[in-house]
Chains A and B, each alone.
Chain A
Amino acid sequence: MATVRHRPEALELLEAQSKFTKKELQILYRGFKNPCPLSHQECPSGVVNEETFKEIYSQFFPQGDSTTYAHFLFNAFDTDHNGAVSFEDFIKGLSILLRGTVQEKLNWAFNLYDINKDGYITKEEMLDIMKAIYDMMGKCTYPVLKEDAPRQHVETFFQKMDKNKDGVVTIDEFIESCQKDENIMRSMQLFENVI
């Protein structure tokens, strides 16, 4: 894997495909090419694998265990499921997340939650995601994290999202419910100034 040198598409092509400017793409690529400067293991340059994702995320959330969430995130970014996130995948994902429409963002979020990508979010899938998120909090939280906190959160979520109460959430239900929720709509603009 280390000898495979993956060269990304031309800058103009990427600029056309994504919503970033050339300068932003340059900054992103420089960071991408040097993904784990502090680790003692070799990083194949040009693509990012799951281990790197996990390590990067663990740097941002030192208190908890972010490996599970990083795993789900990796699967969401790795759209062609080849085990590595290339720069194009990365830019595609980031473009949606940072510069996409609300619809696209919600789509992406739905894709993240739908672990087996079958178009339905079941309670088990949601529970996995929720547990992964709560894992990132770590042990030292206030109030003390209870065992069934993720489960309760899932229940709340399903009551809000599952309109026809059939136990699964489809993409339409999801988007509809989210669009009704002002909080969610408002927070969708939160991360736009990131670069």
Chain B
Amino acid sequence: MAAGVATWLPFARAAAVGWLPLAQQPLPPAPGVKASRGDEVLVVNVSGRRFETWKNTLDRYPDTLLGSSEKEFFYDADSGEYFFDRDPDMFRHVLNFYRTGRLHCPRQECIQAFDEELAFYGLVPELVGDCCLEEYRDRKKENAERLAEDEEAEQAGDGPALPAGSSLRQRLWRAFENPHTSTAALVFYYVTGFFIAVSVIANVVETIPCRGPARRPPREQPCGDRFPLAFFCMDTACVLIFTGEYLLRLFAAPSRCRFLRSVMSLIDVVAILPYYIGLFVPKNEDVSGAFVTLRVFRVFRIFKFSRHSQGLRILGYTLKSCASELGFLLFSLTMAIIIFATVMFYAEKGTNKTNFTSIPAAFWYTIVTMTTLGYGDMVPSTIAGKIFGSICSLSGVLVIALPVPVIVSNFSRIYHQNQRADKRRAQQKVRLARIRLAKSGTTNAFLQYKQNGGLEDSGSGEEQALCVRNRSAFEQQHHHLLHCLEKTTCHEFTDELTFSEALGAVSLGGRTSRSTSVSSQAVGSSSLLSSCCPRRAKRRAIRLANSTASVSRGSMQELDTLAGLRRSPAPQSRSSLNAKPHDSLDLNCDSRDFVAAIISIPTPPANTPDESQPSSPGGGGGASSTLRNSSLGTPCLLPETVKISSLRCPRLPPSLITP
């Protein structure tokens, strides 16, 4: 419960006076008044610095250390103050949280120390106020990342820290991932790097025209064709090394599927595949064209360097992350290109021997002109074409040169903003979840209180007090308030489960009719209609039966049939829902008759009309209530009377259940 509003409890309870004239049932009495309700000043001594505050302030948040009875563990009876051996500077923030409801994060303190203080005082970090939340999270994340890095570096640093019993696989994987761990790994790392370089250079040199050995007619052919065997051998060696490395990595990978899907392994595969395909492709002219294309993929071997270079990886990641901005740039460029190409095409349409044969052909001109390259292979010849061509080149400067720096700065801004928006959305979710949790916490607390028999009377039984969780005065009064609302409207609070079951029960109708029959034949009136409390009578019957069974073990079979009517755990909660003996009443044995009246065929006729009164909607409502009151004779509620009497007079059950 957001106990910051504990100070408004008096107002809420006072406002409940507005329900009193409307209540159709008598309201439950208020919880007992504590002896000392005055406010006092508490002294909290934190390492010598004394803080003083009202007790009420600390009571605002009863689920923290200072708000609950946990602080009594730190109470020093000699000095009459609460002593904490913690940081007084940090405590200032904790105490301010109680005062203002917002937890602020100190700027100059270490975030770890702050966290520890929060954990000690029972405050969850989510309570940090919005003004400081973002910074708190950033610093925390920074810290966490730094710690993780340190850990990684540590891990990488300590080679022999690997457990002795690790398998060959694990050792191999570590060698691949961290080449610095052992000399063999380092050697392997450099060897593969060398071979990647060799392979790339060979690919490049292959295409350089070599001069023929003798002064033949200068038939320049690429070196690859002059020394095919040498290049082939080099290629084979490289591919063998790469294949071996790939297979070893595949063997050593802890998660093979993930490894297969990773980018680096894909690059590896693409790098070596063309060679193998080339081995199996016959050397005829049709396919060799396609084969030549495959050789292009050999250039991807250069990407294998990214395992060796951190910078390349970062660049790849950066490109990936600003893909949307680049996409937008591309899109706007495309728009401009299409526009200008169309215009130029139609402007140059009339000319003979024009290069602008189609709009796609004009694309090339537009791109070259807009990027201010100006190759000159396509030039407009008409005047209109020249005019539009100049407009195109001028706008090219604007379209391309201007957005680029804007996009660069936008990129960094949008990137951070996106992160902030995601953070805010996550925070919002957390906050909503927290609010929902608090709400459900309150509701659950109330339902729990009802389940446990909701005691407030100190007179009745210490043994009952033991089984109920100790509730604060605030909770007691709040629950009393909710109870009054229930009585006013003749409906009860339940949880989702029970509610959906009730809905199901209503729709089924079968169950209700059966339970109706139990109590209807008991009460003898068929008018248990849809007024506000007929089902309460039924439920009371069932509940009563259940509660009496808990007191005395009689008539188990009847109870089974009754319990069988509702085959769900809900009856347990519902059975005790109204078992609130919170009136400390001295019952005379007359109340027995009332019990009998409700469940069995009533002997005292005066009581039957009592019970059937609420079922007939509005039938002389005022008269009925007075009748009920007078016949009761004791200032107590009918259902509670029933409960208490049932608990007190265990010999009732047999007569109770007999229909």
Contacts and interface: CB of A to CB of B under 8 A. Distances in A.
A195 B23 CA distance: 24
A183 B10 contact: no
Interface residues of B, number: 80
Contacts of A112: 18
Nearest to A28: B10
A8 interface: no
Interface string B475-492: 001100110111011111
Given A37-B100, A152-B618, A190-B29, A30 B499 contact: no
Interface in B619-644: 620-622, 625-626, 629, 635
Contacts of A57: 12, 15
A140 B33 CA distance: 31
Interface in A127-171: 129-130, 133-134, 136-146, 149, 152-153, 155-157, 159-161
Given A109-B18, A181-B625, A183-B625, A133 B39 contact: no
A56 B12 contact: yes
How many residues of A sit at the interface, in one of the four size bands? 35 or more
A164 to B, nearest CB: 14
Nearest to B29: A190
Given A133-B488, A152-B532, A190-B30, A140 B496 contact: yes
Given A59-B5, A155-B618, A195-B37, A27 B491 contact: no
Given A27-B39, A38-B2, A195-B37, A94 B11 contact: yes
B280 to A, nearest CB: 68
Nearest to A37: B101
A142 B39 contact: no
B22 A38 contact: no
| Contact residues of A: prevailing secondary structure | helix
Nearest to B577: A142
A35 B11 CA distance: 12
Contacts of B514: none
A51 B531 CA distance: 35
Interface centre among B37, B491, B498, B622, by most chain A C-beta atoms within 10 angstroms, is B491
A93 to B, nearest CB: 8
Contact of A137 (B21, B442, B491, B502): B491
A96 B5 CA distance: 22
A193 interface: yes
A141 B491 contact: yes
B489 A134 contact: yes
B7 interface: yes
Interface in B557-594: 574, 577
Nearest to B39: A27
Contacts of B494: 140-142
B491 A149 contact: yes
B22 A130 contact: yes
